[in-house]
Structure 1
Amino acid sequence: MWVIKLGGSLLGDARLTDWLALVEQLGGGRVTLVCGGGTLADEVRRLQARWQVDDLTAHNMAVLTMVQNAHLLQALAPTLQPVAREADIMPTLRRGGVALWMPLDLLRARPDPDTSWDVTSDSIALALAQRLHAERLVVVKSCEIDERLTLDQLGDLDILDRRFATLAATGSVPIDVLCRSQVEVLRGGLLGACEGGSRRYG
């Protein structure tokens, strides 16, 4: 089983439909899709700064942006199967579907170590992949990815969040970081072909 995380910044990109079509075509029974917060999460950051609300409030608002964007993906790719509870992901895959995770389980009544901006949808997707013992995590970004950079360096550049590299070091899930133009690299991976062009970690 693979976890594929589509960056929220892809929601304004015409290539989004190419990624979704590929997941619909090849992901049945094997892919769990996670969507980032994108511009909606940016607005949460702005509102938090404007009103000085606490990180717990911002965390819950940001999780809901992931849910909102997942609804958009489901509208664009109707065969994706929305999953609100993590416990329902594997049953969805066993039925042959593509699980579209709407992480309502992550809403919190009290703060915990993950309720800060050090943890974004990147680390949320990685933690999910680790809990599910996924074969691979694929993180798709809208920017170009320098294959020479480490996960720590990608975090320093704000391409990945600050917690991602540390979390990756605690598990054994292999990670691909792709840019928005590398849909064929993902196709090759899902088909089992040996295709280059991505940086693999782990």
Structure 2
Amino acid sequence: MWVVKIGGSLSHDPALREWLTQLWEIGGGRVVIVPGGADFADAVRQYQLDWRVDDLVAHNMCLLAMAQYAILMQGILPELVLASSEERIRSALRDGHVAVWVPTGLMRITPDTTTNWDTTSDSLAAILSNSLNAERLMVVKSCPVDAGAPLETLAASGVVDARFVGHVKDANYVVEMFNKGDLAVMRDRLLNVPVV
């Protein structure tokens, strides 16, 4: 099973449809898509500034932002299956579908280590990958990405969030960073890995 995190920065980009279509065509039964927060999360940042709500409120709102992006993805490609739990994800994959994670189950009543701006959808994708015992985590960004750069460098430059490295440092899966233009590379990976 592969987790593919698609950055919110692609939410207005024609490349989004291409990524979703390719993942659906060749990733059925193997791929879980994690949506970023897109400009829905940018709105949360603004609301937090305007109303001075705490990070717990912002965290819960950002999970709903990710849910909105997930719903948008399914609106673009109705064959995608929305899944809000690990059980629903596994069921969708068993049925040969591509799942899109709706992370509302991570909403919190009290703060924890994830309820802050250092933990974004990047880290949540890593947490999900750990939970699902994924084989690979692919993170797709619209900004330029040096695929060979150490993850610490990418975190320091803001390509991934500050907590991401800690979540993947002991992972048993491959972590790869992609630019939105690397669709052919992703396709090659999916086509050349045997189905288990």
- TM bucket (normalised to shorter chain) is over 0.9
Q: Quote the residue 2:170 is aligned against.
A: 170
Contact 1:56/1:116, CA 8 A, preserved across alignment? yes
The amino acid of 2:47's aligned partner reads: L
For residues 83 and 18 of structure 2, the distance between their equivalents in structure 1, rounded to whole angstroms, comes to 22
Relative to the length of structure 1, the TM-score reads: 0.93
Relative to the length of structure 2, the TM-score reads: 0.95
Deviations 1:57-116 (A, max 9, x none): 000000000000100000111110111222211121111111111111111111111100
How do 1:24-173 residues align onto structure 2 when only pairs under 5 Å count?
A: 24-173=24-173
Contact 1:7/1:37, CA 8 A, preserved across alignment? yes
Comparing 86-95 with 64-73, greater Cα deviation is found at: 86-95
Contact 1:86/1:105, CA 8 A, preserved across alignment? no
Q: What secondary structure sits across from 1:82 in the alignment? A: strand
Q: What secondary structure sits across from 1:12 in the alignment? A: coil
Give yes or no for the alignment of 1:5 onto 2:11. Answer: no
Q: Quote the residue 1:196 is aligned against.
A: none
For residues 24 and 148 of structure 1, the distance between their equivalents in structure 2, rounded to whole angstroms, comes to 27
The amino acid of 1:66's aligned partner reads: M
For residues 148 and 138 of structure 1, the distance between their equivalents in structure 2, rounded to whole angstroms, comes to 14
The amino acid of 1:105's aligned partner reads: G
Deviations 1:113-158 (A, max 9, x none): 1100110000000110111110100000001112342111111111
Deviations 1:167-186 (A, max 9, x none): 11132221110001000000
For residues 46 and 158 of structure 1, the distance between their equivalents in structure 2, rounded to whole angstroms, comes to 19
Q: What percent identity do the matched residue pairs reach? A: 44
Q: Point out where structure 1 has 5 or more consecutive residues left out of the alignment.
A: 194-202
Q: Quote the residue 1:198 is aligned against.
A: none
The amino acid of 2:72's aligned partner reads: L
The amino acid of 1:7's aligned partner reads: G
The amino acid of 1:25's aligned partner reads: E
The amino acid of 2:19's aligned partner reads: W
The amino acid of 1:53's aligned partner reads: V
Q: Point out where structure 2 has 5 or more consecutive residues left out of the alignment.
A: none
Comparing 82-91 with 28-37, greater Cα deviation is found at: 82-91
RMSD: 1.1
Distance 1:48 1:101, change over 3 A: same
Q: What secondary structure sits across from 2:137 in the alignment? A: strand
The amino acid of 1:57's aligned partner reads: V
